[in-house]
Structure 1
């Protein structure tokens, strides 16, 4: 693990919207930003101490969930320092303290697949009789810097909106994962999906965000899941390679830490590392056919991280739908409410088989998104 050059003010320019969307009130973010002067140090104006103070303030006021989110901001963007690793431990402790008040049923488990994978389960509270059937399962996975506890709001909303059992996990190389990010790290996720399918006896899908969406596409093309959503995932399908070392906001260092390397890779090393992730080079596009699973691919048309070809290049594959969102960036946060409503309908229709209602819900849920679909959108109901 290593630190790397990044200006905290620049990082907050880019991430303030995200922190607020995850559940940290804007005044808290603004207060922290006004005090932060250094990214990696330990002084009073350094990133971790400032966010730690906000976490402790939230905890003292009786809000352990907000404390957990602030500890999550403290450990951001990666576990490159001792105080960030400690912040993640505080985040988990505060999160579990907050869990009894969650508006859904919650359970934490560590599944061996065979590597240990901590999983957070969320399920809608069921009312009345005749609704005891086991729901389908959706694995929720974030990217290189936004992890399962950070995605609490999305996990709860997905469980409540779809009725599915949400299993939130950290992507390999991040969070509580014990293995580095690597082209074959999908073996962990394949093992997890298989174990969930055996345990629950229901269809299992995968909802991946940012780099986590890379695995959504891979698992769907290989037929390991019953359905998958790729929201902003790099796939290596385009002839335009991702110039990782020139990506903004510290992304080269963030990815390098997920790869578990000890220093910033040089250009040739990083090119070799990234080439291994290409789904085209792995032959998955050639193999994808009858065994492929339904795949929904979504991203903003103006993503600065992932080439558009990585998204639209999947159009035309069996059972693949592509939504390109106009005037939106990486993972289309500008239209998150419309995107999530539409993809929840899409997931419910595929992971709750034998029920006519989810298909109708899918059609209705997609309507608010239609005006924002841009060039490159393709497939059923695009």
Structure 2
């Protein structure tokens, strides 16, 4: 079980509105839901999960399945804390399956059992294969964060596949979505198993791209030398996890849920759990693969220090995008282009347009 915490839904609308729009919801529909929502956790008219689910059902009735995916995603946001949230997540997965035949990329869902500690953990993978993809290229392994899961950021992941012409494998990080293991330093080993599985889906090379809390994992795996390359976008690395950090819009409790707490933790208890995730021991080593650290300059969640900490490291590039916030959400197009350019340069992958031209000529 997870836990609920006091939160004003108006704060979530204010902080998340750019993301709601950027991922594909009509602004007028967002405003309609905003005008109705007065309470965060109640499953009744005026409650967050109720009103977002009602919008999702309207989309579903009109067979607008991709929009239904987004609406049910916001219904179960910010964490699955009760059966109503769990039901909204089930509906999101159902609508995603219904939407998949119309995706501009090939779609395959696999659930694989991967070893972790003394047992196995089922990991759901969404494999997005762009037209013309070949088996002799790297694979991009990617995930969102503590509240943006593989179904929520579908458009970003799809565009990453289309623009790069590389297979994109999407999974939920520990403590989120369908990955039922809390976030710990030990859970990085499980992500390492996902990387090893993904090696069999391309030419053996895997580039791990993580957004938000997913960036914590891509930073950890990249610094540990587990993938062939790693992109850290808005990931908490060290400064974010230090005691005394101020978190906006309840983000500390969103992460608190992923850490496995079952009731509202005391501030000191939560701070201790977060500081235990610090990647400073890995930063002090020199085992890392080529890395790109990138984020917006106006991030209210992740201090600039957690991007700039990578500056000056061997085989590492740092990029700060101006006039955008957490994970450069308002500049997703530029973010994708920067990531793909780095992958092409770092791994000698010809740009997608060049490969398409060569394939047509052949």
Question: What is the TM-score with the length of structure 1 in the denominator?
Answer: 0.87
Q: Runs of 5+ in structure 2 lacking a partner?
A: 116-120, 356-362
Question: Cα RMSD (Å) of the superposition?
Answer: 2.0
Q: CA deviation at 1:242?
A: 5.6
Matched, 1:182 2:184: yes
Aligned to 2:109: 108
Contact 1:139-1:206 at 8 Å conserved across structures: yes
Alignment partners' CA distance in 2, 1:235 and 1:104: 33
CA distance 1:94–1:286, change in 2 (3 Å): same
Q: Which runs of 5+ in 1 are unaligned?
A: 362-382
1:32-89 deviation digits (Å, cap 9, x = unpaired): 1111111101221111111111111111112111111111111001001210011100
Does residue 66 (structure 1) correspond to residue 64 (structure 2)? The answer is: no
Instruction: Give, in whole Å, the separation in 2 of the partners of 1:113 and 1:342.
Output: 32
Query: Deviation of residue 298 (structure 1)?
Result: 0.9
Contact 2:135 2:202 in 1 (8 A): no
SS of the residue 2:327 aligns to: coil
Alignment match, 2:131: 125
The residue that corresponds to 1:96 in the other structure is 97
Contact 2:3–2:262 (8 Å) recurs in 1 = yes
Matched with 2:339 is 343
Given the alignment of the two structures, is residue 215 of structure 1 paired with residue 221 of structure 2, yes or no?
Answer: no
- Rate the CA distance shift 1:239–1:233 in 2: closer, same or farther, 3 A: closer
The 3 A distance-change label for structure 1 pair 240 and 159 is: closer
Deviates more, 1:180-189 or 1:140-149: 180-189
1:287 is aligned to: 285
In the alignment, which of 214, 233, 236 is matched to residue 235 of structure 2?
233
- Kept after mapping to 2: 8 A contact 1:148/1:170: yes
Q: Measure how far apart 1:184 and its partner are.
A: 1.8
CA 359–306 in structure 1, closer or farther in 2 if over 3 Å, else same? farther
Measure, in 2, the Cα distance between the counterparts of 1:53 and 1:285: 46
1:312 equivalent among 302, 308, 330: 308
Report Cα offsets for 1:110-157 as digits up to 9, x if no partner.
12222111010101112xxxx744432111111111100001001110
Write out the 4+ residue segments of structure 1 that deviate beyond 6 Å after TM superposition: 358-361
Q: 1:31-46 residue pairs with structure 2 within 5 A?
A: 31-46=32-47
Structure 1 residues 192 and 328, CA gap change in structure 2 (3 angstroms): same
> Which of residues 136, 139, 155 in structure 2 aligns to 1:137?
139
Q: How far apart are the structure 1 equivalents of 2:252 and 2:235?
A: 16
Q: Separation in 2 of the partners of 1:97 and 1:56?
A: 13
Does the CA contact (< 8 Å) of 2:291 and 2:317 recur in 1? yes
- Give the superposition deviation at 1:360: 9.5
Aligned length: 349
Cα distance in 2 for residues equivalent to 1:350 and 1:116: 32
- In the alignment, the residues of structure 2 paired with residue 294 and residue 97 of structure 1 have an alpha-carbon distance, to the nearest angstrom, of 38
Structure 1 residue 286, shift from structure 2 partner:
2.5
Asked if the contact 1:12/1:33 (under 8 Å) is kept, the reply is yes
Measured in 2, the distance between the counterparts of 1:132 and 1:233 equals 30
Instruction: Give the TM-score normalised by the residue count of structure 2.
Output: 0.91
